Amino acid sequence: MATIGFHGAARQVTGSMYLFTTDGGYKILVDCGLSYEEGDQIQQNSYFPFDPEDIDIVVLTHAHLDHSGNLPTLINQGFEGQILCTEPTAALTDILLSDSANIQGLKQKIQGKKRKKGKSSENNYIRLYGHKQVMDTMDRIITWPFNIQFEIHKGLSVVFKEAGHILGASSVEIHYTENKKSKVIGFTGDLGNKGSKIIVDPTPMSNLNYLVMESTYGGRYRNEFRRGEEVIESYIRATCIDQPGRLIIPAFSVGRTQAILFVIHKLFEEGKIPRGIRVFADSKMGMFSSGIHQRYSEYLNSEARDFLTDHDSLFRYPELFFIEDDDDRKILENHYEPCIIVSSAGMMEGGRIREHVTNNIQNPACTFLIAGFCAPGTLGDQLLKGNSDVYMKGKSKTVYAKIASTDAFSGHPDHNGLIEYFAQVRKNSALETIFITHGEEDSMNFLKEHLEREGAKVTMPVKGEEIQLR
Ligand SMILES: [Zn+2]
């Protein structure tokens, strides 16, 4: 009997990893993400509850590190098979894993220095992997398009469906045969919203017997009913046109940065905002990622593709300036006109955005527009809660800048979106069990209760649980 093991993102959001084993013992690992839960992350991520040598193939839903970030460790520990994903996922995974290796290297260096100076008694930080392991990972990747069956073994195949979450993101159907009967288990991966900027709408899976469903925003509802264009236009107007201020938008480098830069481009082209307001994109990863969005534009939605037939580029426009080095940074430092700054990271915990907070948080003519979810305790969360002071570089700074937020660019569906997705899957399936994963316990419970009211059989697996698919 086939089994499914929930080895990550079970009653938590990060570290996605599911092990599907067929009756005949063929093992497919769906995702191999980094876990960011509290505690020793190196320890958490260097232990696999199975032997990596036994895995036959990895199927990767999308490039985000909580789904892809532990692949180099898996290879380091003996995994010898291939990794299957879509073409844009491969390209984005390459830059995200390289960045992760860089950050780990940097942390190791900094802690080593601190220990030498006697400033840290912590154990030496040992990184999970470096660039060699990232290259080894990329060598294993084979890419496959959406909606076409990939036969990985006799009677066993995989189909990617568009998940609409980020460029190249897929839901995964595994088709297998047991006792001469065909069965299908579907993994949503991270889902996206209908009508997102640049990213396609999700295509619901079909003919499923089992569904492994994300629940990130179960029990939460979207607040913003304006379109992304209207939101960005109103803040540009209030901050950069009606007054000579700065609009600063913290954004993740993959997905949200591109959606926002594209919307600003559209506003200029449509004459909704006057030309000439400088837009600074301050994130190297954001720049690489924008290049990948441009390169794989055939995977984007029709709005972005139509825009491309009329214009040369999605992200190249005279006002937009990507900051690559210190010289570029000086240009921004010496820019005293109103401007827009888009910088990572989204929750404001790390990355270049910290510098912009330090320099602008006391400027009352400045607005920080937080365009995504901020985990409790992060700087973004503190600002959203209305903290009057923040600590930057060891100093307390009173917040004089305006703090605003929008969820118009959310990368996950809210509760209603999840229910709608489920209804579409159910319409074309004979679903036996739904496994809810990838959410905090409250969100999962909320979604579970809702689905059960609709007569579905729902399970909330715990981490490490292995379930027989009978
Ligand atoms: Zn994701």
pLDDT digits (tens, 9 = 90+) for 352-401: 999 999 999 999 999 999 998 887 888 999 999 999 999 988 899 999 99
Here the tokens at position 441 are: 């316990």
- How far does the centroid of ligand 1 lie from the alpha carbon of residue 114, in Å? 34
- How far does the centroid of ligand 1 lie from the alpha carbon of residue 38, in Å? 19
What is the rounded distance in angstroms from the CA atom of residue 426 to the CA atom of residue 410?
Answer: 25
**Is the confidence at residue 107, as pLDDT, over 90?**
no
- How far does the centroid of ligand 1 lie from the alpha carbon of residue 357, in Å? 26
- How far does the centroid of ligand 1 lie from the alpha carbon of residue 355, in Å? 26
- How far does the centroid of ligand 1 lie from the alpha carbon of residue 437, in Å? 13
**Is the confidence at residue 278, as pLDDT, over 90?**
yes
Find, among 422, 442, 466, 4, the residue nearest to 217 by Cα: 442
**Higher per-residue confidence, 327 vs 346:** 327
**Is the confidence at residue 121, as pLDDT, over 70?**
no
Across all residues in the chain, what is the average pLDDT? 93
Find, among 440, 436, 442, 443, the residue nearest to 465 by Cα: 436
Find, among 181, 189, 238, 155, the residue nearest to 85 by Cα: 189
- Those residues whose beta carbon sits under 5 angstroms from the ion ligand 1 are 64, 190
Helices (H) and strands (E) in the chain, counts: 14, 22
- How far does the centroid of ligand 1 lie from the alpha carbon of residue 191, in Å? 8
| Helix or strand (DSSP H, E) at 392 | strand 389-392
Residue type (1 letter), 157: S
pLDDT digits (tens, 9 = 90+) for 424-443: 999 999 999 999 998 888 99
| Helix or strand (DSSP H, E) at 235 | helix 228-236
Q: What residue segments make up the domains of the chain, in order of their start?
A: 3-220+411-468, 228-405
- How far does the centroid of ligand 1 lie from the alpha carbon of residue 186, in Å? 17
Superfamily of domain 3-220+411-468, CATH level 4: Ribonuclease Z/Hydroxyacylglutathione hydrolase-like (3.60.15.10)
- How far does the centroid of ligand 1 lie from the alpha carbon of residue 190, in Å? 5
Place of tokens 């379109």: 227
Contacts of 92 (CB under 8 A, 6+ apart): 62, 63, 166, 167, 168, 254, 289, 292
Would strands 27-30 and 366-370 be described as parallel, antiparallel, or unpaired?
A: unpaired
- How far does the centroid of ligand 1 lie from the alpha carbon of residue 63, in Å? 7
pLDDT digits (tens, 9 = 90+) for 35-57: 877 677 777 888 899 999 999 99
**Is the confidence at residue 24, as pLDDT, over 90?**
yes
- In degrees to the nearest 10, what's the CA dihedral of 248, 253, 254, 257? 20
pLDDT digits (tens, 9 = 90+) for 77-94: 999 999 999 999 999 999
- How far does the centroid of ligand 1 lie from the alpha carbon of residue 62, in Å? 7
pTM above 0.85, yes or no: yes
On whether the CB atoms of residues 406 and 440 are closer than 8 A, the answer is no
What is the rounded distance in angstroms from the CA atom of residue 185 to the CA atom of residue 5?
Answer: 13
What is the rounded distance in angstroms from the CA atom of residue 160 to the CA atom of residue 185?
Answer: 12
**Is the confidence at residue 167, as pLDDT, over 80?**
yes
Burial (0-12, 13-18, 19+ Cβ within 10 Å), 457: exposed
- CATH class held by domain 228-405: alpha beta
Please give the pLDDT value at position 119. Answer: 67
- How far does the centroid of ligand 1 lie from the alpha carbon of residue 162, in Å? 13
What is the rounded end-to-end Cα distance, in angstroms, of the chain? 7
**Is the confidence at residue 323, as pLDDT, over 70?**
yes
